[in-house]
Amino acid sequence: MKTQLEKQDNAVEKMNTAPTVAPWMDIYESQDEIVMLADLPGVSRENLELKFENNELTIRGAQTPREKSYKPLFRETRPMRYERSFKLPSGLDITKIKADLSDGLLKVTLPKSEEEKPHTIPIGRKA
């Protein structure tokens, strides 16, 4: 006999069987930008999402499923999902954020706005 929750498809929680882990990250800063590097092995562009909202960058990705036409004989790995969020400082030029994915490495470049970059202040001479 099915319970009331089992009868209502939209009320049943659907769980993803892949575990979610935080990708390993390196973050660098220069005078002009912040660069974030994330290790996302097996993640394709189609299975990757970047979201910037309220000065927070969220990275979500899932490994591309392996060949399904084969029957596994031995497996030490299983599909992984990645998710990680970072609060970022204000003063970034969000219209110029760039992201590239190559060989499982995601590079996100966050340019600083001109107002946030260091400025040299000229010193006047008193007459």
pLDDT tens-digit series, residues 46-102: 999 999 998 899 999 999 777 777 887 887 877 889 999 999 988 899 899 999 999
* CA distance linking residue 42 with residue 79, whole number of Å: 9
* CA distance linking residue 12 with residue 33, whole number of Å: 45
pLDDT tens-digit series, residues 29-59: 999 999 999 999 999 999 999 999 988 999 9
| Residue boundaries of the structural domains of the chain | 18-64+78-111
Q: Supply the CATH classification number for the domain 18-64+78-111.
A: 2.60.40.790
Q: Can you tell me whether residue 96 is helix, strand or coil? A: helix
Provide the whole-model pTM: 0.74
